[in-house]
Chains A and B, each alone.
Chain A
Amino acid sequence: MNTLLTALVAGLGDGAVYALIAVSFVVIFRATGVLNFAQPGLLILGTWATSVLAVDRGMPFWLAVALAVLAVALLSMGVERVAIRPMIGRPVFSTALVTVGLFTILLVLAFRLFAARARTINDPWQLDQWCLLDGEVLCAVPLYQHHAGKIAVTAVVLTALGLWLSRSRVGLAMRATSLDQEAAMAQGINVGRMFSLSWALGGGLAALGGVLLAANGSVVQANDALFALVALPALILGGIDSFRGAVVGGLVIGLISAIARTYQPIHAPWLGPNFENVAPYVVMILVLLIRPYGLFGTREVRRV
């Protein structure tokens, strides 16, 4: 029972990060109709920038995070302007391939910047833990502070984002753009600016996700960018165009991953070590087969 509780707590913590990353995909998908495969690259650059500012420059952690998120948001905006804007009106297929190309560029850039070194980001939580349930000798159900931090940050950021999208004028304009670009344009909305804005938002959220992903009391390497791909199962599970779905999907994937990590080595060792890294993909394939548009996604209407 205590093992299960521990797994659930850790799963919610990790799931919060997946949710944040999945939302960053959704923001971009809704605005431009592109599944941005370059997101892991943006994410790892955010982690790197935070590490440089917080560790090498000795800035306070939160200031470093803010600056890093801002920098990646600007970079993401530039990327959209240079590489994605010319692809408007071309098949989605081509635009997705462009983002795959961008992924390579950003990933190599990250490898170069990390220079094969493992870095830390100097987060305030490290490996400190609170005890939820006392055991006889050790703590029975520990709650790592970084898990609590992840949940808190995600909750605050996503609530703010949700409120901003639903209440503000710009949020309304963004939603209008995602609904119908031409109609939005006819209403006087600057659609190009909305594209820039959503890419900046997506990039910033990815960078924040990268920081939280690295905040696990351990080190981070350029290769860890590929862990961000775990947000894809979360995205598919929740529905590719739904904010609510991304959040639910992220949390569920986090829980599944944590449960697999806890129980699979005991009950199904033949699945091999590190199975928790691929368990989300098993879930994803099942979801794609049963309900391709996800739990909360819009069912695709196909017209000729």
Chain B
Amino acid sequence: MTQSTEGLTGQSKLLRAGSAGGRVPRDIRRGRPRLYTSYDADSSLLDTPAKRWWTLGVVLLAFAAPFWLTRDLTHLLSVAAVMGIAGIGLNLLTGYAGQISLGHPFFMALGAYTGAVVAGTPGSIVIGWELDLSLALLLAAIVPGVVGLVVAPLATRVRGLYLAVLTLGLLMLGEQLFKQWAAVTGGSGVGRAGAEPVLFGSDLTRTYALGPVLLPPHTSLYLLCLVLLIVLAVAARNLARSRAGRAFAAVRDQDVAAEIMGVNLLRTKTLAFALSSAYAGVAGCLYAILIGRVAPEQWNILLAINLLAIVVIGGVATISGSLMGAAFVVLLPRLLEWVAPWLPFVSTGSDGLITVFQLQSILFGVLIVLFLILEPRGLFGLWHRVRTYFKAWPFSY
């Protein structure tokens, strides 16, 4: 493969014009994992062998997990994967593009109800077209994305705290709309079932056998969520290092300066809004399938705070952070349930000092505050410190 040498001078031109075509021989690179000889290598996703192996290990582990975990833990991991998708979506908007939003549950709800209408079963009041889940997921991304596209120009008129308040208003109006629109949502306090998981004609509520491996419903749902999570996470990570991603960061850091440098503010913010709404829509659709029944009241400000907790605890403007945050936020209640018997002040009834649920909510709040004050980069920042410590060992930096 011969590459162009236009615009290159000196050593780099020689390197690229040489017989190896710009590739540095392996024996020179050996032991120097961070020796990059091209921009592509410098900005690649998995730029060190350690990252490559870690990622491979984690992905393999994630795929193997449902086969030796119990049914309810698998379900919990599926919810974590779904919240991861929603968290990544919010992180694109809030972390990368710096537009704080409390209205994300509204877009999740849009996705959930779109999916339920397209692939759900019709009931006495609710409508459902009983189409394939693939179509439902696609539309669950498109409909919230388009609504995001419509809302975005409004949102670009306001900045910072005003945007937070505006999206809060959107959340309130959305709740009213969903309560009213019983044909789609089942109505206030009743709700409806999510989409039927029939993917490409195969009903995921049945158990399948792939050779010696059994795929019970919860496992196939988990695998579906996992695959979508991986695809969407890689897409988001790729977007973040593209031109659009750099525009997001420029707008976040100083929007006037970004505008003067030629970043189209309206287009950038609209893209961030539409994309993050589409992510939220997919997450909402899957969430409704996992939970089984969703009522209009569910998409409230507490869910918005949970999503913000994912972003903040995980790490603002990092994809892996969002994944860690989602796992943390979803698994923390279960962890607390396990340790509750050893905590004398926690009760399962209403007579003790505090219940597990209340403790968990309080912990979310406390952790948001603590992370913002002490480690603004979240769990990712903690991990980064550990990594840097070992990388620099035996030196302190």
Decide if A87 touches B373 in the complex (CB within 8 Å).
yes
Decide if B161 touches A92 in the complex (CB within 8 Å).
yes
Question: In the complex, A35→B305 CA distance in Å?
Answer: 16
Residue with the highest number of chain B CB atoms closer than 10 Å, among A101, A102, A284: A101
Question: In the complex, A137→B365 CA distance in Å?
Answer: 54
Decide if B358 touches A304 in the complex (CB within 8 Å).
no
Residues of A within 8 A of B175 (CB): 278
Which residues of B136-162 have CB atoms within 8 Å of chain A's CB atoms?
154, 157-162
- Whether A127 sits at the interface, judged by CB under 8 Å, is no
- Whether B242 sits at the interface, judged by CB under 8 Å, is no
Please tell me which stretch of A68-76, A149-157, A211-219, A228-236 contacts chain B, meaning at least 4 of its Cβ atoms lie within 8 angstroms of it. A228-236
Decide if A35 touches B164 in the complex (CB within 8 Å).
yes
- Min CB–CB distance B29 → chain A (angstroms): 40
Decide if B362 touches A108 in the complex (CB within 8 Å).
yes
State which size class the interface on B falls in. Answer: 35 or more
Other-chain residue from A102, A233, A272, A284 in contact with B176 (beta carbon distance below 8 A): A272
- Min CB–CB distance B369 → chain A (angstroms): 4
Question: In the complex, A109→B358 CA distance in Å?
Answer: 8
Question: In the complex, A274→B100 CA distance in Å?
Answer: 28
Decide if B98 touches A93 in the complex (CB within 8 Å).
yes
Knowing A90-B376, A278-B176, say if A108 contacts B365 (CB, 8 Å).
Answer: yes
Other-chain residue from A103, A112, A233, A274 in contact with B354 (beta carbon distance below 8 A): A112
Decide if B308 touches A97 in the complex (CB within 8 Å).
yes
- Whether A189 sits at the interface, judged by CB under 8 Å, is no
Residue with the highest number of chain B CB atoms closer than 10 Å, among A93, A274, A292, A302: A93
Question: In the complex, A27→B179 CA distance in Å?
Answer: 35
Residues of A within 8 A of B365 (CB): 101-105, 108
Question: In the complex, A86→B165 CA distance in Å?
Answer: 24
Decide if A87 touches B372 in the complex (CB within 8 Å).
yes
Contacts A104-B364, A236-B165, A292-B157 known; 13 new A-B pairs at CB < 8 A: A37-B164, A87-B372, A97-B100, A104-B302, A104-B362, A104-B368, A105-B369, A111-B358, A284-B165, A285-B166, A285-B173, A288-B162, A304-B256
Question: Which residues of A come within 8 Å of B, CB atoms?
Answer: 35, 37, 83, 86-87, 90, 92-94, 96-98, 100-105, 107-109, 111-112, 115-116, 226, 229, 232-233, 235-236, 240, 270-272, 274-275, 277-278, 281-282, 284-285, 288-289, 292, 300, 302-304
